[in-house]
A = this chain, B = another copy of it.
Amino acid sequence: MNPDICRERENATFNAESLTYILDGGPEKTRRRREIESLVVNDPDFQHEDLNFLSRSERYEAAVKKSAQMILKLREYGISDPEEIYFYKSVVHRGRSEPLDLHLGMFLPTLLNQATSEQQDRFFMPAWNLEIIGTYAQTEMGHGTHIRALETTSTYDPSTQEFVLNSPTVTSIKWWPGGLGKTANHAIVLAQLYTQGKCHGLHAFIVQTRCMKTHMPLPGVVVGDIGPKFGFDEVDNGFLKLENVRIPRTNMLMKYAQVQPDGTYVKPPSDKLTYGTMVFIRSMIVGESSRALSKACTIAIRYSAVRHQSEIRPGEPEPQILDYQTQQYKLFPLLATAYAFRFVGQYMSQTYHRITGDINQGDFSELPELHALSAGLKAFTTWVASAGIEVCRMACGGHGYSRCSSLPDIYVTFTPTCTYEGENTVMMLQTARYLVKSYRQASEGQRLSGIVSYLNESQSRVQPQPVSARPTVTNINDLASLVEAYKLRAAKLVELAAKSLQGEMQRSKSPEDAWNNTSIDLVRASDAHCHYVVVKLFTAKLSEVKDTAIHSVLSTLALLYALHGVSIHSGDFLQAGLLTVPQLSQISQRLKGLLSELRPNAVALVDAFDYRDEMLNSSLGRYDGNVYEHMFEWARKSPLNRTEVHESYHKYLKPLQSKL
């Protein structure tokens, strides 16, 4: 064990293990999570070479092998609780996506939710036993988030009682679905349903893509891998071009909408049913933001405790780089953010589960707010985490750029969350739509409840007064007062956006043009709203923490999170009259103080995330701090070192020497 990192742990003012329990939701949950992790990590069937040393084809193959093993072992161990399956799977693939993700996460659940019982009989058990390997083919080359405009067609032919599926344009080729390229033999295809000469919009169809015996593509099916990406090397994201592919009428998922044998279309009873799933997935992504950022912080902070560089005082030994104020200023606000997002993720998941019962009873009253919140928070947290991972990487200097740090891998695995499940800017605008609507309701005298209730107050509280005339309400040392300031900032920005929109309405050709011409303000308002929610939830979490030492360090983190946000957006707070100019200097001093307070606890705070070395797979982020030895060992095993002399020497360099 590296002595520096030992000393860090000795100096912590709290017990990291107890904090881990809080993060997991109790000691029993921690125990079980570790038990599952050990099952995988100690299993010789899951051992393989470092993925960084493999070609993409080899990485795909290794992932297929592990996924196959995983299916067998889950059944062998009888692990069936979804959360436990999630743990197991994330250890097997170290948090990466894998070829069977959409089979397990979309194909099977969609069958359960949208297939008739006859269809379940036909498809579910074969899919459960992986004879049918499915994927979910929605996104096309030309359309992602805006799904209404998808172009794939499914035209009903009553003469044969079949649907005929087509990709009528290049842009209509299905593009991106995971597992579609090489793994799946079936796909649930989203297509525009045509029957009796009329289009009824998007519906889901089960299409067999490959032969069950030979795995060769079926006639009319052009299918393959979309090629290398920034990351996701394990996944065969695929394309699918359909050329007059016929499927039986009974392959349309018909639990809700139906096409009768003669071609008569029967509408579904409600369209809110898929709404809940979106909310659920976006809430999960908020949790992912925290996980990805906390991994990056673990690596960067442990490395900064071990790395010595340059000098603060001449003649003395080189300090740990964690002692540099600039390094603390890069990393500690991100550490605070990782904690904040963890608690927000917990809140989202709890709220979702709380109202799921209501949704199943047909009570959708709380769903719009949660839907709006999950959209905005998905965007807010993924943007911040994505940028934050890169700050962590660069805070490790050159070594962060090596794949042995694992930071490049964490980044490329995480950054697509900014785009998938709803592109972030579109998500921010969805939240804005809800905020503006709520603002208008409040203006019209309606009493709002829930998280937007602050807009009730905005009519009276946020007045356009000159800055100097406003009383200063914010106590920069008090979290409750800061929550209030974030709330009033959000109220102010929602008001500004709503008024700006109103102004545009008078100038623009249409309400839609007005919306577009206000969209910068609208995104800003959503951002402020989400920021308020995060500060509020982080603060609220503190009251649940009984351990006084942990309460103290988490309070420091929360204050750092809140004040750092104020200093980054100081213009907003000054503009809204929530801060005075002299307070800015106080904040800047206070921030430095908080960095110093956190310094002794930094390593323990990342230890509490409790990532095993096998999960981090990072030479820089090792628990024992033996960074350099491990880097050297790793490098010597890398493919270019398999021979002392690379063949290109004989092929190109030696012949060249004789020509010059």
Question: What is A's interface to B at a CB cutoff of 8 Å?
Answer: 52-53, 55-57, 60-61, 64-65, 68, 71-72, 75, 128-131, 133, 139, 141-146, 149, 170-171, 173, 175-176, 181-183, 214-217, 224-231, 236, 239, 308-314, 318, 323-327, 329-330, 386-387, 390, 394, 397-398, 400-404, 408, 412, 415-416, 418-420, 423-426, 429, 466-468, 496, 509-510, 512-513, 515-521, 523, 567, 569-575, 581, 584-585, 588, 591-592, 628-629, 631-632, 634-641, 644-649, 651-657, 659-660
Which B residues lie within 8 Å of A637 (CB)?
Answer: 227
How far apart are the CA atoms of A141 and B575 in the complex, in Å?
48
Contact B635 A139 (CB under 8 A): no
How far apart are the CA atoms of A515 and B53 in the complex, in Å?
43
Which B residues lie within 8 Å of A324 (CB)?
Answer: 516, 519
Q: What are 20 A-B contacts with C-beta separation under 8 Å?
A: A61-B651, A61-B652, A68-B652, A131-B657, A149-B309, A171-B628, A176-B398, A183-B649, A229-B402, A312-B513, A325-B520, A387-B387, A408-B412, A520-B591, A520-B592, A570-B570, A570-B572, A570-B575, A574-B574, A574-B581
CB proximity of A642 to chain B, nearest CB, Å: 9
Contact A228 B638 (CB under 8 A): yes
The residue in chain B whose Cβ has the minimal distance to the Cβ of A411 is B230
Contact A408 B183 (CB under 8 A): no
Contact B65 A652 (CB under 8 A): yes
Contact A130 B660 (CB under 8 A): yes
The residue in chain B whose Cβ has the minimal distance to the Cβ of A181 is B640
Contact A326 B646 (CB under 8 A): no
CB proximity of A275 to chain B, nearest CB, Å: 19
Q: Which 4 A-B pairs have the closest CB atoms?
A: A570-B571, A227-B638, A225-B640, A230-B408
The residue in chain B whose Cβ has the minimal distance to the Cβ of A468 is B468
Contact A326 B523 (CB under 8 A): yes
Contact A647/B61 with A510-B313, A640-B56 known, Cβ cut-off 8 Å:
yes
Contact A313 B513 (CB under 8 A): yes
Which B residues lie within 8 Å of A325 (CB)?
Answer: 516-520
Which B residues lie within 8 Å of A403 (CB)?
Answer: 227-230
Contact A52 B227 (CB under 8 A): yes
Copies of this chain, count: 2
How far apart are the CA atoms of A53 and B496 in the complex, in Å?
50
Which B residues lie within 8 Å of A310 (CB)?
Answer: 145-146, 149, 426
CB proximity of A300 to chain B, nearest CB, Å: 14
Which B residues lie within 8 Å of A518 (CB)?
Answer: 325
A130-B653, A387-B387 known; 10 new pairs, CB 8 Å cut-off, are: A53-B228, A57-B640, A68-B655, A130-B657, A146-B310, A182-B646, A227-B403, A229-B402, A313-B509, A466-B581
Contact A425 B326 (CB under 8 A): yes
Contact B419 A401 (CB under 8 A): yes
The residue in chain B whose Cβ has the minimal distance to the Cβ of A169 is B628
How far apart are the CA atoms of A139 and B656 in the complex, in Å?
29
CB proximity of A538 to chain B, nearest CB, Å: 22
Main secondary structure of the interface of A (DSSP, over half): helix
How far apart are the CA atoms of A626 and B419 in the complex, in Å?
23
Contact of A408 among B229, B468, B523 (CB under 8 A): B229
CB proximity of A34 to chain B, nearest CB, Å: 28
Contact of A141 among B139, B569, B632 (CB under 8 A): B632
CB proximity of A435 to chain B, nearest CB, Å: 16
Contact of A644 among B217, B312, B520, B567 (CB under 8 A): B217
The residue in chain B whose Cβ has the minimal distance to the Cβ of A409 is B230
Contact B311 A512 (CB under 8 A): yes
Which B residues lie within 8 Å of A467 (CB)?
Answer: 467-468, 581
Contact A648 B408 (CB under 8 A): no
Which B residues lie within 8 Å of A575 (CB)?
Answer: 570, 574, 581, 584
Contact A520 B329 (CB under 8 A): yes
How far apart are the CA atoms of A467 and B226 in the complex, in Å?
57
How far apart are the CA atoms of A644 and B601 in the complex, in Å?
54
Contact A170 B640 (CB under 8 A): no
How far apart are the CA atoms of A584 and B227 in the complex, in Å?
46
Contact B628 A141 (CB under 8 A): yes
Contact A652 B64 (CB under 8 A): yes
Which B residues lie within 8 Å of A236 (CB)?
Answer: 640, 646
How far apart are the CA atoms of A278 and B585 in the complex, in Å?
36
Contact of A519 among B139, B141, B326 (CB under 8 A): B326
**Most chain B CB atoms below 10 A, which of A71, A224, A311:** A224
